[in-house]
Amino acid sequence: MPLRHTPPPPSLVLAAALGLAAAGLGPVRPVIADDADAAPLVPPPPPVAAVESGQEGEAAAEMKRAPRSWHARLAEGIEESRKVQKPILVRVGAEWCGWCKRLDREIVDPAVQAELAKWVLVEIDVDEAPEDAERLAIGPIPALRVLDASGRTVRSTEGFLPAEELVKWLQGKESGDAAMSDAVAEIPPLSAETLPELVRLLGHRDVRVREAVSRSLAADPQEAGGAVVAGFIKGTLVTRLTALEILSGWKAPVADLDPWQPRTVTSERLEALEEWAESLPASPAPNADGAPDAGEGAPKAAMLTPADLDEARREIAKLEAADPIELEAIGARLAHRGPLLLPEVQAQRERAASQTLRERLDWLRYRLVSSDTLALKWPAGLFGLASADASRRHAAAAELKEIVTPGDEALLIELLRHPDPLVRELSLKALGGIEGTRSRQELAKLLSDPDANVRATVLKEMAARPDPALVPEVLAYLEREQDADLIVSAVRMLQEAETSEAREGLMKLLKHASWQVRAEVVEGLAKTFPHSYERSNLDPAEQKQVVKVYTAVLERLEDEDGFVVSRAVLALKECDMAAAAAPLARTAERRPELATAVAEALSGGDTIGAKAEDILRGWLKHAHENLRAAAITGLQARSTLDGEGELVPALSDAHESVRLAATRALLEQLGHLRTSADADVNGGEAFGMEVSPSSSGGLGGLLNLVFGTKIEATVPDPPLPPPPAAPDAPSAPAAPVPAPDVDVQSGTIVVPGAAEGGLDPSAVEAWLTAVRSGEGRPEWMSQALAPLRAQLASMSTAERVSAGVALTALGDDGALEPLLAIARQDGSQVIPVGDVLGWLPRPARLTTFRTLRGLVHGRDELLHLCYLLGELQDPGLSELLWEVLREPETDGAVAEVALERLLHLNGSAFYDYSGPSASRKSSSLGLEALRPHVESRHEWECRTALAALIRTEPAQALGAALGVAGDATRSEALRADAFAIGLYALDPRDAREAAVAALVSGDRIRSGPALILLAFDHAALPQSAIQDFPLPMNSRWNSGMAAQERVGVRPPLPAELTPDHVRPLLDSDNETVSLLARYVLAVLGEPVDVGPLIARWRKEGSPRYGSLRWDRPVFEALAERNRAADVPVLEEIYEFLRKEYDTDAVREFYWTIRTMTGPEVLALRKRIRAEVGMEALQ
């Protein structure tokens, strides 16, 4: 690469020594054009005069006409960068440099000009701005530097680049020696493994990096002493200067050593330094628990000495006049003083005469309490927080909230003192997300903040992460707070705390003047009610308090406000106490609008329900229609509603609400008949297929796919199925079906052929025919026909629809057309009318579904309609769902419902815990039937077909998935999903081997699913590999264990997996894959930001059944990087595990963090042993 060195101004000689030494190239003797003894690095460029008079001169002239403007000073570029939020490109050259002129011509290239639009541009002439060149450590020219908004060098290169290579370099796609990354996003913690890297960083160009590394090393002379001495002896000039500061602080024998004067660095003095390092005591040995003694670590100064303070004041005095680069250097030098310097900075801020100085002093405050990691990766943000411009300040605070980590707690607490309420509010939200004792204490202090928005945010954060220790603070706050809305927020925090003290405080508020407060308290107390089966386990004191709470809530049934009374009724639904029956009944009679809610409370429990039946039957003759309707609903819920004596008369009630309640009760009883018939047709067993070893594909096939080997199909192609009949074509006459045996008294239907082991569609039709003809249902139901037909003339649409569906179920075919007319006229009635699908003969089901399908609006209605289609098991309806899956608007949610209904229609089940050895029934969703759908070019149709094979023929699903994953004509998303299904179809051990092969091969399509499998386990694939489309259970891995018990149990990462295999996945479009890449890299020892991983765990909260457990990736990653700053997050995880899981999860957590060292984590482990018990942890 052509290089040209500058003439030797003294400042640039020093710059070359500092810059190139810092880059690891060692001391460099500058080569100048007239140095006769020096061999040029490259052939010299054309003379400047010749260049300027020829083609190069034209390029220079054209460059002057170029549209991109370049700043001539570095400070100007940094200032603009902070305003426009763009990175800085610095080009350094000189008028006499021929290669610089050639670079000018390349910069004029249109492709380069297009790329330059993304940058703030600075052009430095080494003769006109030598101080800027020195700060950038410029040696050879031309030179290019990429800087962030704080002036930190991110990338650099020296020499001429043609236009094409220049564009690649600007885009970060360069390779080889053309680029050198100087960016350091995070300083790794001091350990034996990271010590060499930390010593190397002592020579880094960025003063902030050097200062941060110095603080890390200086904290432990026993661990770092020898390496720092070696760095001083063998390092570059910059390394020696930085190491000298550390050694001086350790009182090492360095008084006579001056790296600027090589003659002072004698062999005798270096030997004395090595002897001093060897005399240092060894690092403290870990104690029996695996952690160093609690007293380890460098002592922290309790105060600044007068000399320290004088030195700091001299640095602070430079702030106002400093340019951006020097400003960062001052901050880096003062950062090691930390919060001890805050009083001095605050005092000077109060005396500051100019706005500029006030802003810079505020910036210094935030820099003093910032973590080194944040200062390195977010320098412009700290300036934004100190800005006098409100919009910039608010934007910085909002950005900080998204990137905050536990190490930033001190900065957030400092920002809570900011005069801007929005900054305080945003900082408070961020502080609530990182947890920790100090954070909770600071939150409590802010309950006295004068701004109501801040207090509201405090209470919201407290409720999100309730801490019983803060209950006294909140109760004291309630005594002085007058704002009802804020009191409501405090009530929510107390109800989440779930302590006796919190409940007592809530009960005091039941007579508060505000109805909002009383209603919230009643609702909050209800959440603390123990279940009836738990009451016997309560100790006497707890039982006494429970009775007190119930009594207090019962009293609210007499409240003057109807909303408060309604909350009390809902609360008492959970209590199931006989003593509540009479007060509830009186409430309904006094407030008939609450009768339905009261009936639900009366019928909801075994204890209260027995006493409530007499009350409900008494309401059947009540004068108020609300109580009559509630009685029907309540008795039906108790399954004690008499059809002939109570339900049929109610169908002719004078009031619509009573008739509607009776019709819905009738439909519910008909639904029970259908459920019973489904069980009879299925023989009462789970559906599925026996799993047999695959004759093709298998692990070998999947590995072949990963490495590109062609796979031969071993399953013959079936004949193409005949095209489906047109929707309006007449259906062929149905074959005669055997009459079912009907137990009229019980309503049980026994269909011939059901016990033989196979889903017989004719048996389903036989059952339906029997019910609709009157033979397969209780005789009293026929008495309902006349009143239901009368309801078809009602003015109420809801009543006409319910009556029409019930009439159709009872065999009145004339009710269907009026129902469809209602759906056509009123789009809101499409789904209520859709209830009729489960009661129509097959031809009518087909045409009615297609009619309603054309009337639905939006995805939710389509989902509901697809679900209603599958109420009856009938493989002949499958094509309707395949049609839905071919539509362009279909997504994962639609496909999930379609898959579940397809399985049900065809005699299989989405969930099956019976294991691989269970007896299974045949399904019409085998490979031959599904082949056309697997081969479909409609992606959701293909995905659904592959997923169905997982349930019906998992051994065949593998080969089908391999075929799709290996088809280069398919989309990358579909191929990745097919590969996930292939992994899922394998035995877990084989799937793991295939996943390793996929990652090692570097195949970006298959690496995502492979990483998910390795990071969690085989059972995680259905929840995350195919987004928004969980797969049905696969009997190859399910052996009667619930998915929740499996997900998150991960074997150790394979030894052959390296960071290079995983790093490209950080940029994956799949958020789960990107986050797991961070986790795996952290476990592999890579310094990565795990903040997004922590945020995902907090966002997910308590996992739903079968969903992923994100706590384990978080605590494994934190345990691997072993930082004291992470312990507050680990405490939060421990509390979460104790609440959500059993001792097994806590045991796993304990032994994972046992590898960590430091007094903070040692205290956490002691706490766990005290609270859980060592025996439970063994």
Q: Which two tokens stand for residue 385?
A: 């927080």
Most confident of 40-49, 314-323, 708-717: 314-323
| Rounded alpha-carbon distances, angstroms, from residue 231 to 235, 237, 275 | 5, 10, 15
Spell out the residues 6+ positions from residue 220 whose beta carbon is closer than 8 angstroms to its own: 190, 283, 297, 298
| pLDDT class of 1089 with cuts at 50, 70, 90 | confident
Task: Identify the residue with better confidence: 348 or 500.
Answer: 348
Half-sphere exposure of residue 437, counting CA atoms within 13 Å on the CB side? 5
Residue 59: the pLDDT is 42
Residue 43: the pLDDT is 34
Q: Which two tokens stand for residue 778?
A: 């209780």
Is 50's pLDDT higher than 90? no
Task: Identify the residue with better confidence: 376 or 848.
Answer: 848
Residue 707: the pLDDT is 40
| pLDDT class of 150 with cuts at 50, 70, 90 | low
How far is it, in rounded angstroms, from Cα 1014 to Cα 1083? 12
Is 684's pLDDT higher than 50? no
Q: Which two tokens stand for residue 913?
A: 């815990």
| pLDDT class of 527 with cuts at 50, 70, 90 | confident
| Rounded alpha-carbon distances, angstroms, from residue 416 to 453, 607, 1128, 1176 | 13, 52, 19, 42
Residue 1032: the pLDDT is 59
Using a pLDDT cut of 90, give the percent of the chain over it.
Answer: 24
Radius of gyration of the chain (CA): 38
Residue 91: the pLDDT is 93
Most confident of 101-105, 113-117, 561-565: 561-565
| Rounded alpha-carbon distances, angstroms, from residue 1001 to 499, 894, 1060, 1061 | 55, 34, 11, 8
Residues in the chain: 1178
Q: What average pLDDT does range 298-323 have in this prediction?
A: 79
How far is it, in rounded angstroms, from Cα 667 to Cα 662? 9
Q: Which two tokens stand for residue 779?
A: 């005789």
Q: 181-185 — which CB contacts under 8 Å span 24+ positions?
A: 181/154, 181/155, 182/152, 182/153, 182/154, 182/155, 182/156, 182/206, 183/152, 183/154, 183/155, 184/209, 184/376, 185/373, 185/376, 185/377, 185/1087, 185/1089
- Ramachandran sector of residue 858 (left: φ over 0; alpha: ψ -120 to 50; beta: rest): left
Q: Tokens 């680049």 map to which residue?
A: 161
How far is it, in rounded angstroms, from Cα 130 to Cα 108? 25
C-alpha closest to that of 104 among 147, 149, 163: 163
Q: What average pLDDT does range 122-132 have in this prediction?
A: 88
Q: What average pLDDT does range 756-782 have in this prediction?
A: 80
Residue 558: the pLDDT is 93
Residue 90: the pLDDT is 93
Task: Identify the residue with better confidence: 480 or 748.
Answer: 480
How far is it, in rounded angstroms, from Cα 317 to Cα 322? 9
C-alpha closest to that of 651 among 795, 789, 778, 744: 789
Task: Identify the residue with better confidence: 540 or 782.
Answer: 782
C-alpha closest to that of 812 among 778, 796, 788: 788
Instruction: Give tens-digit pLDDT for 570-607.
Output: 888 877 778 889 999 999 999 999 999 999 988 877 77
Q: Tokens 């308290």 map to which residue?
A: 521
Is 699's pLDDT higher than 90? no
Most confident of 269-278, 674-683, 819-828, 1109-1118: 819-828
SS3 string, 651-675, reads CCCCCHHHHHHHHHHHHHHHHHHHH
Is 687 exposed, middle or buried (CB count within 10 Å of its CB: 0-12, 13-18, 19+)?
buried
Rounding to the nearest 10 degrees, give the CA dihedral for residues 902, 908, 914, 915: -80
Which residues lie across from 750 on neighbouring strands?
741
Residue 15: the pLDDT is 32
Residue 812: the pLDDT is 94
- Number of other CB atoms surrounding residue 782 within 10 Å: 13
* Three-class secondary structure of residue 93 per DSSP: strand
The answer to whether 518 touches 561, Cβ cutoff 8 Å, is yes
Average pLDDT value for the chain: 77
What single letter denotes the amino acid at residue 819? L
Cα angle: 418, vertex 420, 425; to 5 degrees? 85
Task: Identify the residue with better confidence: 440 or 704.
Answer: 440
Q: Tokens 């020096």 map to which residue?
A: 38
Q: Which two tokens stand for residue 14?
A: 């020093």
Lowest mean pLDDT among 176-180, 835-839, 850-854: 176-180
What is the secondary structure of 715-774 as a DSSP string? SPPPPPPPPPPPTTSPPPPPPP-PPPEEETTTTEEE-TTGGGSS--HHHHHHHHHHHHHT
CA 825 distance to own-chain centroid? 43
- Ramachandran sector of residue 154 (left: φ over 0; alpha: ψ -120 to 50; beta: rest): alpha
C-alpha closest to that of 249 among 203, 211, 205, 288: 211
Residue 782: the pLDDT is 94
C-alpha closest to that of 669 among 631, 629, 642: 642
The answer to whether 977 touches 951, Cβ cutoff 8 Å, is no
Instruction: Give tens-digit pLDDT for 37-48.
Output: 333 323 334 443
Q: Which two tokens stand for residue 328?
A: 């960062």
Buried b (16+ CB within 10 A) or exposed e, 199-219: bebbbbbbbbbbbbbbbbbbe
How far is it, in rounded angstroms, from Cα 625 to Cα 910? 43
State yes or no: cis peptide before 142, omega within 30 of 0: yes
Instruction: Please report which residue ranges of 870-987 form alpha helices under DSSP H.
Output: 878-885, 892-905, 927-934, 939-952, 954-965, 972-985
Most confident of 341-355, 722-736, 905-919: 341-355
What single letter denotes the amino acid at residue 695? S
SS3 string, 161-210, reads CCHHHHHHHHCCCCCHHHCEECCCCCCCCCCCCCHHHHHHHHHCCCHHHH
How far is it, in rounded angstroms, from Cα 658 to Cα 661? 5
Buried b (16+ CB within 10 A) or exposed e, 92-127: bbbebbbbbbbbbbbbbeeebeebbeebbbbbbbbe
Instruction: Give tens-digit pLDDT for 632-675.
Output: 999 999 889 999 999 999 999 999 999 999 999 999 999 888 77
Q: Which two tokens stand for residue 1134?
A: 């421990």
How far is it, in rounded angstroms, from Cα 871 to Cα 671? 10
Q: What average pLDDT does range 437-450 have in this prediction?
A: 73
DSSP code of 156?
A: E
The answer to whether 349 touches 358, Cβ cutoff 8 Å, is yes
Residue 21: the pLDDT is 33
Instruction: Give tens-digit pLDDT for 174-186.
Output: 443 333 345 565 6
Residue 51: the pLDDT is 36
How far is it, in rounded angstroms, from Cα 887 to Cα 891? 9
Residue 1124: the pLDDT is 83
Determine phi and psi for 120, rounding to 5 degrees: -90, 130
How far is it, in rounded angstroms, from Cα 383 to Cα 360? 8
Task: Identify the residue with better confidence: 491 or 25.
Answer: 491
Is 34 exposed, middle or buried (CB count within 10 Å of its CB: 0-12, 13-18, 19+)?
exposed
Is 394's pLDDT higher than 50? yes
The answer to whether 1025 touches 1068, Cβ cutoff 8 Å, is no
The answer to whether 676 touches 749, Cβ cutoff 8 Å, is yes
DSSP code of 144?
A: E
Q: What average pLDDT does range 496-501 have in this prediction?
A: 83
Spell out the residues 6+ positions from residue 154 whose beta carbon is closer than 8 angstroms to its own: 87, 146, 147, 148, 181, 182, 183
Lowest mean pLDDT among 290-299, 387-396, 1061-1070: 290-299
Residue 1026: the pLDDT is 58
Q: What average pLDDT does range 551-568 have in this prediction?
A: 93
DSSP-derived pairing of the beta strands 143-147 and 741-743: unpaired
Q: 799-802 — which CB contacts under 8 Å span 24+ positions?
A: 799/656, 799/659, 799/660, 799/663, 801/829, 801/832, 801/833, 802/660, 802/663, 802/664, 802/667, 802/832
